[in-house]
Amino acid sequence: MNKPATIKDIARILKISTSTVSRALRDASDVSAETKNAVKSLSEELNYQPNKFALSLQQKQTHTIGVIVPNLDYVLSTMVKGIDEVALEAGYTVMVCQSNESFGREIVNTKRLSESLVDGFIVSVSSETKVFDHLKKIQAKKMPMVVFDRVTPFLEAPTVHLDNKDGGFQATEHLIEQGYKRIAILAGPKNLEISNHRLEGYLTALKKHKVKIDPDLIINCDFNQEYAYIATQELLSMKKRPDAIFTISDRMAIGAMLAIKEKGLSMPEDIGLVGFNNEPMFSLLQPSISSVDQPSFEIGKVAAKLFIEMMHNNEDMSSVVEILKPKLIIRESSQRLKKNKLTK
């Protein structure tokens, strides 16, 4: 197999220095048009391909974005697709690592992407992340960083996320308007702002409609189907059980649904259920599950646009916040009033 042509090969054939060849390929002004034409013509003839890695070291840019996500579920994978679309159009490549909700793995991913010479990071933190020194070290190197989806007040960086409070409010108010009185919430980990904001929306809706807040109906658990299943079992075993459940993720809603069916309860007659994320399968289940939809693809696109703007902007963008709006998709699992009208 023939070795690929190098700058040294071009210089040897044309009897000029390698630095002259390099400047000619860059179209430098101090190289004559005759030499440039000769170099470019021979490079095409030899099918010369520049060493992009070496070139990136010279330019201190690799045009590669390191993306760290907690997992690649439907929502986050859709966000990554949005990031990739904008990155591709701007001439960037995306390298994706998932932490699997592990703080330790997030640290390892950050280190490995840094060693891969990415230009910067777009990050959604894990549910275990409570200390952010590994990300602050990246920022100290003046590398661009955008935080998306799961934002945190402990990092000074441009952010893009959903209006999670409004999503929690929409879901809870809908259940109240359907006549449910004891509405439980399966909230996420307390250290995550998305958990707290969706819980805040839930509480705001209860207060607005003068529904008594019962701390026993507020359960914090991981974004995990199994944990949600166990938490729902506990809720349904209460002497005065809830008549509706709002889960702050669809994975949790699946766990809740399994526990509800196992208990022999019917949705929406005996108990209502609303999830969060609006995964495609929710329209196919029996009954179909109501869920808060978020513009995941658009969130990813906005995150990538912010990153690219940081790459070409010397101004401080750490205070930039982009917030997108959710929309409740109402299905059979929570439409009790409609169901009652149909049966009368």
Where is pLDDT greater, at 97 or 117? 97
Task: Cis check for the bond before 242: say yes or no (omega within 30 of 0).
Answer: no
Cβ atoms 64, 97 nearer than 8 A: no
78/31 same-domain check: no
The model's pLDDT over 135-157, given as tens digits with 9 standing for 90+, comes to: 999 999 999 999 999 999 999 99
Select from 127, 166, 122, 168 the least CA-distant residue to 302.
122
236/194 same-domain check: yes
CATH code of 93's domain: 3.40.50.2300
Please give the pLDDT value at position 339: 54
Where is pLDDT greater, at 59 or 79? 79
Tokens of 152: 């945190």
Give yes or no for residue 19 having a pLDDT over 90. no
Q: Model confidence at 2, in pLDDT bands (50, 70, 90)? A: low
Q: CA–CA separation, 304 vs 289, rounded Å? A: 31
Q: CA–CA separation, 271 vs 250, rounded Å? A: 17
Residue 20's domain comprises: 7-50
Orientation angle between helical segments 250-262 and 225-236, nearest 10 degrees:
40
172/206 same-domain check: yes
Give yes or no for residue 251 having a pLDDT over 70. yes
Give yes or no for residue 35 having a pLDDT over 80. yes
66/127 same-domain check: yes
191/334 same-domain check: yes
Q: CA–CA separation, 215 vs 232, rounded Å? A: 15
Report if residue 279 sits inside a domain: yes
209/261 same-domain check: yes
The model's pLDDT over 261-317, given as tens digits with 9 standing for 90+, comes to: 999 999 999 999 999 999 999 999 999 999 999 999 999 999 999 999 998 877 889
277/339 same-domain check: yes
Report if residue 55 sits inside a domain: no
Report if residue 258 sits inside a domain: yes
Please give the pLDDT value at position 49: 73
Q: CA–CA separation, 326 vs 82, rounded Å? A: 17
- Starting at the edge strand found earlier in the chain, the sheet holding 120-123 runs 93-98, 64-69, 120-123, 145-148, 159-162, 321-324
Distance, CA of 319 to chain centre = 19
| Residue 333: Cβ within 10 Å count | 27
Cβ atoms 123, 98 nearer than 8 A: no
What is the DSSP annotation of 30-59? TS-HHHHHHHHHHHHHTT----HHHHHHHH
235/333 same-domain check: yes
Give yes or no for residue 22 having a pLDDT over 80. no
Tokens of 343: 């049966």
- DSSP E strand boundaries for 74-124: 93-98, 120-123
314/258 same-domain check: no
175/284 same-domain check: yes
Report if residue 57 sits inside a domain: no
Q: CA–CA separation, 266 vs 288, rounded Å? A: 12
215/68 same-domain check: no
Number of domains the chain contains? 3
286/301 same-domain check: no
Where is pLDDT greater, at 3 or 20? 20
Distance, CA of 94 to chain centre = 14
| Residue 187: Cβ within 10 Å count | 25
Q: Model confidence at 344, in pLDDT bands (50, 70, 90)? A: very low
Which residues partner with 257 through β-bridges?
none
Tokens of 64: 């590669």
Please give the pLDDT value at position 50: 63
Report if residue 1 sits inside a domain: no
Instruction: Give the range among 47-51, 328-332, 333-337 with minimum mean pLDDT.
Output: 47-51
Report if residue 232 sits inside a domain: yes
Distance, CA of 216 to chain centre = 31
